Amino acid sequence: METPNTRAHPCFDASARLMHARVHLPIAPKCNIQCNYCNRQYDCVNESRPGVTSAVVTPMQAVEYLKALSTRLENISVIGIAGPGDPMANPEETLETLRLTKEAFPDKLFCLSTNGVNLTPYIDDLASLGVSHVTVTVNAVDPAIGGEIYAWARHEKRIYRGVAAGEFILERQLEAIPKLKAKGIIVKINSIVLPWINNQHIPEIAKTVASLGADVMNCIPVVPTKDTEFASMGEPSKAEMIALRANAGKHLPMMTHCARCRADAAGLLGKDLQDAHELLREYSLRVVDVTHQRPYVAVATNEGLLVNLHLGEAQSLNIFKQTPNGFRLVEERATPEPGCGEERWKQLAGILSDCRAVLVSGVGKSPTTILQGSGIRVVQMTGLIDEGLEAVFNGKQLRTVTKADAMRCGGACRGTASGCA
């Protein structure tokens, strides 16, 4: 597993932790599973565990925070996304953050930590954006054991519980690991050690993920957390952990220097920068000015007054900018011809490269992912154009957002529900 990349990554190489700092960007608040040991609290500076952060930031705020942090931490080698929810439960924010940080810090390593449930659809995107290391948390390779660990899992409109949740999560994780390896991405497996539930099962996890190509494993003793199902569960002893790692280590190299990092960790492992939390909170409250980079907003409209067109149906988009005297229509831009699949949306991303957002009444998953991965925020809404422009340019609350399924592909759209092409 040793490569020049791993030698600069403190989570994958024990010697790197002494000289290479890492930064976690807390841009992903939502999660698609609920673990019985996890309670995501965003504002407790006295806790050091995954799921905790002092603030959640937007992708642009994250970049500005990184620029400021770099003046205080000169040895940053790794930029990661690990929550406080799951990065791939927040795919648009994650991809945009990676794109922006890669532009600003091209010499850094990029990684993320995920439960793997929604990982596979975005592996190509992650590889193209330069993500070199991915950690997948696998707590069971037996659905019955997984059913005891996970309260539920959610995918699209379906919720899984009990053994069904354990089976669904496992299926998605085992699908993702070899696909990550096929892209040359280094894979670490995190397993939370839960006494009486999966502690005897950890070697089987190691054997299974090793057969799929995983590179290294990190066995983490559970942190009993208030207001969770496992709040009264005791931590495994040091002797138990030593024995467990020895058995699992027959199948995979073990990481033994884990610091149970927060979602906003910054600094050397176990030696986080003391004022990083305060700096993060400061940048989470800032309005980041991107006017000079993306001064426009595109709008899908029939008559120029309302946002009332599905993106796939729009033959052109109205382009607006903000002026001291209000919003002004700059021009009308033709959209690419339909029928060429994802290439259509890649072309549109180029056409809208000077736009910070596009307002639409409905949009499919593929164009959303491609546009937002290119830094163009996709806003689904119905109502007055000015209300949408106020929300994007001035941060005002948007009261006309459609429900998640109200303008789904094939709903109000006259398409066939097969995705915009």
Residue after which a domain boundary falls, among 284, 313, 337: 284
CATH number of the domain at 165, please: 3.20.20.70
Residue at 59 is within a domain: yes
pLDDT of 392 higher than 80? yes
| Partners of 52 in beta bridges | none
- Choose from 77-86, 367-376, 409-418 the range with maximum mean pLDDT: 77-86
Listing DSSP states for 196-218 in one string gives TTTTTTHHHHHHHHHHTT--EEE
Within a domain: residue 171?
A: yes
Instruction: Report the pLDDT value the prediction gives residue 193, as an integer from 0 to 100.
Output: 94
183-219 tens-digit pLDDT: 999 999 999 999 999 999 999 999 999 999 999 999 9
Are residue 201 and residue 83 in the same domain, yes or no? Answer: yes
User: Any idea what the CATH number is for the domain that residue 380 is in?
Assistant: 3.30.420.130
237 and 343 fall within a common domain: no
Furthest CA-CA distance within the chain: 71
Residue at 104 is within a domain: yes
If asked whether residues 148 and 220 sit together in one domain, one would say yes
| pLDDT (0 to 100) of residue 87 | 93
Contact 128, 56 (CB under 8 A): no
The C-alpha atoms of residue 128 and residue 141 are separated, in whole angstroms, by 30
* Claim to verify: residue 363 and residue 239 sit in the same structural domain: no
Looking at the fold, whether 258 and 383 belong to one and the same domain comes out as no
Domain-embedded: residue 166 = yes
Query: Tens digits of per-residue pLDDT, 95-144?
Result: 989 988 998 889 888 999 999 999 999 999 999 999 999 999 999 999 99
Whether residue 311 is predicted with pLDDT greater than 70 in this model: the reply is yes
Any bridge partners for residue 22, and if so which?
78, 267
Check whether residue 49 and residue 80 sit in a common domain. Answer: yes
Buried b / exposed e over 62-101, threshold 16 CB at 10 Å, is bbbbbeebeeebeebbbbbbbbbbbbbbbbebbbbbbbbb
Residue 399 domain-assigned (yes or no)? no
pLDDT reported for residue 342: 82
Residue 407 lies in a domain: no
What would the pLDDT profile of 333-345 be if each residue is shown by its tens digit?
999 988 777 889 9
Total number of domains in the chain: 2
11 and 135 share one domain: yes
Domain that holds residue 114: 6-284
Asked, for residue 193, whether it belongs to a domain, the answer is: yes
pLDDT tier at 48 (50, 70, 90 boundaries)? low
Same-domain check for residues 163 and 224: yes
Residues 314 and 359 in one domain: yes
**For residue 47, is pLDDT > 80?**
no
> Which among 284, 312, 340 is the end of a domain?
284
Average pLDDT on 147-167 reads 94
For the stretch 12-26, pLDDT in tens is 666 555 567 788 899
Q: Parallel, antiparallel, or unpaired: how do β-strands 109-114 and 76-81 relate?
A: parallel
Is the domain of 133 the same as that of 104? yes
Residues 63, 101 contacting (CB under 8 angstroms): yes
Residue 35 clears pLDDT 50, i.e. is over it: yes
| Residue 400 in domain | no
pLDDT of residue 6: 57
Q: Are residues 166 and 199 in the same domain?
A: yes
Interval 225-261: pLDDT, tens = 888 889 889 889 999 999 999 999 999 999 875 656 7
Q: What is the DSSP letter of 310?
A: B
What pLDDT was estimated at residue 14? 61
Q: Do 198 and 310 have their domain in common? A: no
Distance CA 342, CA 248 (A): 43
Compare 280 and 150 and report the one with higher pLDDT.
Answer: 150
